[in-house]
Amino acid sequence: MAIFKGAGVAIITPFTEDNKVNYDELGRMIDYQIEQGTDAIIICGTTGESSTLSHEEHDECIRFAIEKTNKRVPVIAGTGSNSTEEAIRLSTHAQEAGADALLVVTPYYNKATQKGLIEYYTKVANSVTIPIIMYNVPSRTGCNITPQTAVHLAQTVENIVAIKEASGNISQVAQLASLANGCIDIYSGNDDQIVPLLALGGIGVISVLSNIQPKLAHDIVMTYLEGNIEESRRLQLESISLVDALFCEVNPIPVKTAVRLMGWNAGGLRSPLCEMEESNYERLKVELEKRKLI
């Protein structure tokens, strides 16, 4: 059974003026997302600036999101690391806190071999009993999960059940879907490729766009799954210029800026992330104004 179908939000982590996690605003954001039709909350992912959260903050953000969501939708905790032992620690804590599933990114910087990836995911999965979504984003980690490796893990490790595919390589996703023959659920990790992945058998998206337009991201997926492919395609194409603006600088700089422009107390970005270049800021603002979001 799938962890979720539809659009899960890779939710940002709001900060206070003194650069601490703003739990009040995070709670408001979670409520808003669920009210707008988001199908899952993904906490402490890349978009949540997980790499600059302390261990204590990471654990507390997961605990808080689980408590605030209160079973209304699944909570998926980002628990990957470039250290297998740290990934195990984060994963076991998230399970103990009540997470419904884990999103485990490939080890970054280490550039593990496929053999190393199999060992990493197997060890992490064996440390917990809840489902695991592998996260393949080679542009950020320097490490690619091949289709053969993904299928091997799904077939040999019981609780490895899905993959967030953000390679951007549609040919690779097609090969994955062909080899898997249904043994692994595929989620798009790119908001501009939701419909193409659904066409290859995907069941949803883990979305940055959902921070800005949760209903739109949800509708792109669900109209497709309900059989209205033409409407899904229309919504996907309608979203492209906004998605491009949300990725005109490294994620999550633009999306956090957009959320602030929309009136949320999202706070700043933790170094080494920085504020947007003025030209990109204006481009993003135009897209939000065009959609009457600000």
Range of the domain at 131: 6-226
Catalytic residue at 5? Answer: no
Query: Could you give the number of structural domains in the chain?
Result: 1
The amino acid at residue 203 is I
Question: Which residue in the list 68, 108, 164, 256 is annotated as catalytic?
Answer: 164
Whether residue 234 lies inside any domain: the answer is no
Return the SS3 of 212.
coil
DSSP class of 133: E
Whether residue 212 lies inside any domain: the answer is yes
Q: How far apart are CA 253 and CA 187, in angstroms?
A: 23
Question: Which residue in the list 108, 121, 135, 224 is annotated as catalytic?
Answer: 135
Angle at CA of residue 165, ends 51 and 255, nearest 5°: 50
Whether residue 289 lies inside any domain: the answer is no
Whether residue 256 lies inside any domain: the answer is no
Q: What is the pLDDT of residue 271?
A: 96
Q: What is the pLDDT of residue 176?
A: 98
Q: How far apart are CA 80 and CA 151, in angstroms?
A: 19
Q: What is the pLDDT of residue 52?
A: 96
Catalytic residue at 164? Answer: yes
Whether residue 263 lies inside any domain: the answer is no
Which residues in the chain land under pLDDT 50? Answer: none
Whether residue 59 lies inside any domain: the answer is yes
Whether residue 239 lies inside any domain: the answer is no
Q: What is the pLDDT of residue 73?
A: 98
CATH of the domain at 44: 3.20.20.70
Q: What is the pLDDT of residue 1?
A: 83
Q: What is the pLDDT of residue 265?
A: 97
Q: Is the pTM of this model over 0.85?
A: yes
Contacts with 107 (C-beta within 8 Å, 6 or more apart), sequence order: 80, 81, 82, 83, 84, 87, 116, 117, 120, 141, 143
Whether residue 61 lies inside any domain: the answer is yes
Q: What is the pLDDT of residue 162?
A: 98
